[in-house]
């Protein structure tokens, strides 16, 4: 059994890691940390676990690392760097924060407004978009789990950019997210009465997942990409739907886009290209690690619309983190992740 600790277990991604790992046949949960709630039984923080025998919440500095092989780090960005830097060498890590996603200290500081404290560690960390970076992930000690929006946008776009099928200058990503992406800390804007029965855009032109997408899509395109990305808050707890507006390069057809994506993902257990005429719904991946992708003809001949659906807490966070752990440990990649979406 792999001895696992979840750092920052009192948030939504922590609870989701636990929900999924409890079905993982090779994992034993050894520690759950939460600085402010240390000492409390975990079920006081998330009562759905009341019937299980779980370790109480503790502080990170009280952990005995000799018993821990693997860490999921679900701490807020900015607080993560010293923690990961302080881990013993034998411990491998998937970090769910944003702290190791951007490849350089400069990019990190530009996006997050703070100098990066661990540039060496940053250099060694691997960006963990599982289906794209599988080989590097397998060898990494620290994997930076991708952002929720970048995951759903990159999976459809990367193969098309790699093949030069679409215009890298004109990529529009209009994303709609549930509220759990914003975490569990109480804020007026996340109250039920402020979220239900309405929708709005936020972080327009400024959201920090924009530079993350730029970085990865630029790699795929072999040139600089700057996406046009707008996130929206939808009255739902989970799920991200991304509507992608692309312009096809001269001579490229929708069929070519479809064939490229189907070929790329045909053997992937978690990425599915829908049949013609179908469009994905976030509720059909709710609670699962799957990503659904559809392609649609635009009324303008050289343009196309793609849609992707994911659960922001699973493939967009905790599920992909476990998928990455499976890759790192050489386990079957679907272990702990075989759940079908819970719908209705």
**Site membership for a second copy, residue 202 (CB under 8 A):** yes
Burial of 90 from C-beta contacts in 10 A (0-12 / 13-18 / 19+): exposed
Q: Are 133 and 126 in contact (CB under 8 A)?
A: yes
User: Per the structure block, which two tokens stand in for 202?
Assistant: 């936020």
Unique residue bearing structure tokens 């993560």? 80
For a second copy, which residue of 148, 234, 321, 327 counts as binding (CB under 8 A)?
234
Nearer to a second copy, 92 or 272 (CB): 272
**Site membership for a second copy, residue 26 (CB under 8 A):** no
**Site membership for a second copy, residue 2 (CB under 8 A):** no
74-133 binders of a second copy (CB under 8 A): none
Which residues carry out catalysis? Answer: 148
# residues contacting a second copy (CB under 8 A): 89
137-196 binders of a second copy (CB under 8 A): 170, 172, 174, 176, 178-180, 184-188, 190-196
241-300 binders of a second copy (CB under 8 A): 241, 243, 245, 269, 272, 274, 278-288, 290, 292, 294, 296-300
First and final C-alpha spacing in the chain: 34
Please give the Cα distance from 33 to 201 (Å, whole number).
Answer: 33
For a second copy, which residue of 104, 255, 266, 338 counts as binding (CB under 8 A)?
338
In whole angstroms, the minimum distance from the beta carbon of 269 to a second copy comes to: 8
Nearest partner of 99 among 34, 144, 150, judged by Cα:
144
**Site membership for a second copy, residue 51 (CB under 8 A):** yes
For a second copy, which residue of 53, 64, 120, 197 counts as binding (CB under 8 A)?
197
**With CB under 8 A as the contact rule, which of the stretches 49-57, 113-121, 141-149, 154-162 interacts with a second copy?**
49-57
Nearest partner of 317 among 99, 135, 94, 137, judged by Cα:
94
In 3-state terms, what secondary structure has residue 336?
A: coil
Nearest partner of 146 among 211, 98, 184, judged by Cα:
98
In whole angstroms, the minimum distance from the beta carbon of 338 to a second copy comes to: 7
Nearer to a second copy, 118 or 180 (CB): 180
In 3-state terms, what secondary structure has residue 93?
A: strand
Nearer to a second copy, 92 or 286 (CB): 286
Q: What single-letter DSSP state applies at residue 248?
A: B
Q: Are 261 and 231 in contact (CB under 8 A)?
A: no
């Amino acid at each position: 059994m792999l001895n696992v600790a979840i750092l920052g277990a009192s948030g939504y991604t922590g609870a989701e890691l636990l929900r999924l790992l409890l079905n993982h046949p090779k994992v034993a949960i050894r520690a759950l940390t939460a600085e402010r709630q240390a000492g409390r039984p975990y079920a006081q923080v998330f009562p759905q676990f009341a019937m299980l025998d779980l370790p109480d919440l503790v502080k990170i500095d009280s952990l005995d690392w000799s018993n821990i092989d693997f860490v999921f780090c679900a701490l807020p960005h900015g607080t993560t760097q010293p923690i990961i830097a302080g881990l013993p060498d034998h411990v491998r890590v998937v970090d769910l924060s944003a702290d190791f996603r951007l490849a350089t200290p400069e990019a990190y500081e530009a996006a997050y407004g703070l100098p990066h404290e661990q540039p060496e560690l940053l250099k060694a960390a691997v960006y963990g978009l599982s289906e794209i970076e599988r080989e590097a992930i397998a060898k990494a000690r620290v994997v930076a789990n991708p952002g929720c929006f970048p995951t759903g946008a990159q999976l459809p776009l990367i193969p098309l950019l790699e093949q030069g099928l679409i215009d890298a200058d004109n990529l529009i990503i209009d994303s709609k997210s549930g509220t759990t992406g914003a975490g569990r800390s109480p804020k007026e804007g996340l109250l039920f009465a402020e979220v239900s029965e309405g929708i709005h855009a936020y972080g327009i032109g400024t959201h920090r997942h924009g530079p993350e997408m730029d970085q990865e899509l630029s790699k795929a395109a072999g040139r600089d990409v700057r996406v046009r990305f707008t996130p929206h808050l939808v009255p739902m707890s989970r799920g991200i739907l991304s509507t992608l507006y692309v312009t096809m390069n001269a001579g490229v057809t929708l069929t070519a886009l479809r064939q490229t994506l189907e070929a790329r993902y045909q053997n992937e257990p978690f990425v599915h290209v829908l049949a013609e005429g179908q469009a994905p719904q976030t509720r059909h991946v709710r609670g699962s690690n799957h990503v659904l992708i559809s392609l649609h003809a635009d009324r303008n001949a050289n343009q196309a619309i793609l849609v992707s659906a994911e659960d922001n807490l699973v493939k967009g966070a905790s599920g992909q983190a476990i998928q990455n752990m499976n890759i790192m440990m050489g386990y079957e990649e679907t272990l702990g992740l075989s759940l079908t979406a819970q719908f209705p």
